[in-house]
């Protein structure tokens, strides 16, 4: 089926998921919407996140997408179930795949989760993990300064390291913790610094790989994988500055980014 896979995020963070989708499903076209003008979603009330998420979804539905990936953890926590109940296409988020990957990786049954304020307050990762294994210790921590670093394209390693170090200090006191979930799709862009701060003994989990694997499985089950020979066309939409979006996306994805449009979202 030639129709594209839709990916939505509060900003550029969902590109970490889109990149993994392109790697695992190289024949599939992606349409991506990053709500960079209103990013971050983490501090916003649930009702506002729901409103913004639905605006992106309604826009992408006009592009005839065959599946929706909610790449924003906060939007996943607040809207996933209602999206699944309302839409007639498959919808997946990034929390369940990330939780499963962490459970597979951890040997000590002691897992950390970092994310936006909204994601951490929702306890979505804790619930997802305990739904599978109630005996796991989950230590969560909000890191609200991380998303602005990524969205603003801050390049100073010194400034980034200090911010990450100060933010993660509370987690460094837990000796048994062996796995850390990056509970925001922006955070993989800071993965190397996070790994340096936490230490090489900590396994860092990004949900992109597991999410892409689940997308492949679901599309295959519904016989919606594209099996033709036409090359994929990826289209990017942003509510903010298209030039800034293209610059950050090109740097992160390490490939030329074409077809970027700035869109004003309304109900």
Q: Is 187 annotated as a binding residue?
A: no
Angstrom distance (rounded) from CA 187 to CA 114:
9
Q: Is 267 annotated as a binding residue?
A: no
Please, what sign has the CA dihedral across residues 188, 192, 198, 199? positive
Q: Is 41 annotated as a binding residue?
A: yes
- CA distance to 150, 182, 205, 243, per residue, from 166 (Å): 17, 16, 20, 32
Q: Is 235 annotated as a binding residue?
A: no
Angstrom distance (rounded) from CA 192 to CA 33:
26
Q: Is 185 annotated as a binding residue?
A: yes
Catalytic (active-site) positions? 72, 184
Start-to-end CA span in the chain (Å): 29
In which element (H, E) is residue 259 found?
none
Classify strands 30-34 and 91-92 as parallel, antiparallel or unpaired. Answer: unpaired
**Residue with tokens 């850390």, as numbered in its chain:** 180
Q: Is 9 annotated as a binding residue?
A: yes
Angstrom distance (rounded) from CA 29 to CA 31:
7
Angstrom distance (rounded) from CA 261 to CA 235:
8
Angstrom distance (rounded) from CA 74 to CA 59:
19
Angstrom distance (rounded) from CA 193 to CA 199:
10
- CA distance to 75, 140, 231, 243, 265, per residue, from 57 (Å): 11, 29, 25, 23, 10
Q: Is 264 annotated as a binding residue?
A: no
Task: Output the known binding site for substrate.
Answer: 9-10, 41-42, 73-74, 185-186
């Amino acid at each position: 089926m030639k129709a594209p896979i839709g990916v939505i995020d509060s900003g550029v963070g969902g590109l970490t998921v889109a990149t993994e989708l392109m790697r695992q499903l190289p024949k599939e076209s992606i349409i991506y919407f990053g709500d960079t003008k209103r990013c971050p979603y983490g501090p916003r009330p649930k009702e506002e996140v729901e409103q913004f998420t639905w605006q992106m979804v309604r826009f992408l539905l006009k592009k005839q997408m065959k599946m929706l990936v909610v790449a924003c953890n906060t939007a996943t926590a607040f809207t996933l179930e209602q999206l699944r109940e309302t839409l007639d296409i498959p919808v997946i988020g990034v929390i369940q795949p990330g939780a499963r990957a962490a459970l597979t990786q951890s040997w000590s049954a002691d897992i950390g989760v970092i994310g936006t304020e909204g994601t951490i307050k929702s306890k979505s990762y804790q619930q997802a993990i305990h739904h599978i294994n109630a005996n796991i210790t989950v230590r969560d921590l909000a890191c609200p300064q991380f998303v602005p670093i990524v969205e603003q394209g801050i390049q100073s390693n010194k400034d980034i390291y200090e911010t990450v170090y100060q933010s993660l200090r509370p987690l460094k006191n837990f000796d048994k913790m062996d796995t850390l979930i990056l509970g925001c799709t922006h955070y993989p862009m800071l993965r190397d610094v996070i790994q340096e701060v936490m230490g090489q003994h900590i396994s860092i989990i990004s949900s992109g790989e597991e999410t892409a694997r689940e997308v492949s499985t679901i599309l295959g089950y519904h016989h919606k994988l594209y099996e033709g020979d036409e090359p994929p066309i990826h289209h990017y939409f942003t509510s903010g500055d298209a030039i800034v979006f293209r610059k950050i996306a090109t740097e992160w994805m390490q490939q030329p980014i074409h077809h970027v449009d700035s869109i004003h979202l309304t109900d």
